[in-house]
Amino acid sequence: MMEILEEVLRSIAVYSVPFGIVCYLVKILIVHFLDKDISAYRKSLENDAASFKQSLENTANLELEKYKSQLDKERLRLQISYGGIFEKQANAILEISKALKDLEYSAIKFINSDPNKADESSQLFFQSWTVTNESYSNNRILLPEQLDTDLHKFILDYLMSIHHYTNAKEDLKHISKIPSVSDEELDWIREQKNTAKAMIDSDIPKLKESIISYMRKTLGVVH
């Protein structure tokens, strides 16, 4: 019985070594193929990630270019739209500037005219004032707010000043026929003339400079 057991143990010992070698080899093969598969899978994942990233970048670039194109179109549309407005505004300011220049000339001639002589200075002035007022009224919607305010005040104040001076000139015609004229009456006439003249000497030049400033801003030549 012992001999049989020893023989069995001997056989197991003899075959266990090759079996162990075979198992080790099988293990190495399994690890090798697993490593190879894992490496291939990792590489596949990296390729997929790179491809997905590139796809996202391409999509983002396409959307960005599309957005830029839309912005360019909108900017061009606004430039055309605002360009038209700026052109109209510039033309309006130029028209008012010319009217003010004519008004200044006619006002100087009117104020310095002989009150005892009939001439066309009064008619010329009121024609110029009417043109200036109409030019302002027609174009005020295009004017900068402060320029609109300044022109509105000037036109009303100047009309009132000239109106007082016109009355003073009429009074002077009658007074000249009276032998004695009080100093108060003469002082009042001079005051009306000086007030009207002061507006010519001061207010009109200020308005003209203001118009030049706004014109430069409109044309984009302010440094």
Q: What is the DSSP string of 52-66?
A: HHHHHHHHHHHHHHH
Name all domains of the chain by residue range, CATH numbers in brackets: 95-219 (1.20.120)
143-164 pLDDT per residue, tens:
888 888 888 888 888 777 777 7
Q: Are 205 and 104 in contact (CB under 8 A)?
A: no
Q: What is the 3-state secondary structure (H, E, C) of 167-180?
A: HHHHHHHHHCCCCC
Structure tokens at 207: 């308005």
3-52 pLDDT per residue, tens:
655 554 455 555 555 556 656 555 666 666 666 667 776 777 777 777 77
pLDDT at 221: 58
When pLDDT is cut at 50, 70 and 90, the band that residue 116 belongs to is low
Structure tokens at 208: 């003209």
Strands (E), the chain: none
Per-residue CA distances from 207 to 81, 161, 195 (Å): 29, 17, 17
Does residue 136 surpass a pLDDT of 80? yes
When pLDDT is cut at 50, 70 and 90, the band that residue 55 belongs to is confident
Query: How far, in Å, CA of 34 to CA of 185, rounded?
Result: 121
Query: How far, in Å, CA of 182 to CA of 41, rounded?
Result: 117
Nearest residue to 119 (alpha-carbon basis) of 130, 132, 110 = 110
> For residue 153, which amino acid is it?
K
Positive or negative CA dihedral for 67, 68, 69, 71? positive
CA distance between the termini of the chain: 120
Query: How far, in Å, CA of 105 to CA of 121, rounded?
Result: 10
Does residue 93 surpass a pLDDT of 80? yes
pLDDT at 80: 54
Assessment of whether the complete model's pTM goes beyond 0.85: no
164-222 pLDDT per residue, tens:
777 766 666 665 555 555 667 667 777 777 777 777 777 778 888 888 887 777 666 55
Query: How far, in Å, CA of 164 to CA of 192, rounded?
Result: 6
pLDDT at 1: 57
* Mean pLDDT, range 97-110, rounded to an integer: 85
pLDDT at 19: 55
For the chain, state the CA radius of gyration: 50
pLDDT at 135: 92
pLDDT top residue among 175 and 109: 109
- Taking phi first (over 0 means left), then psi (-120 to 50 degrees means alpha), and beta for anything else, what does residue 75 get? alpha
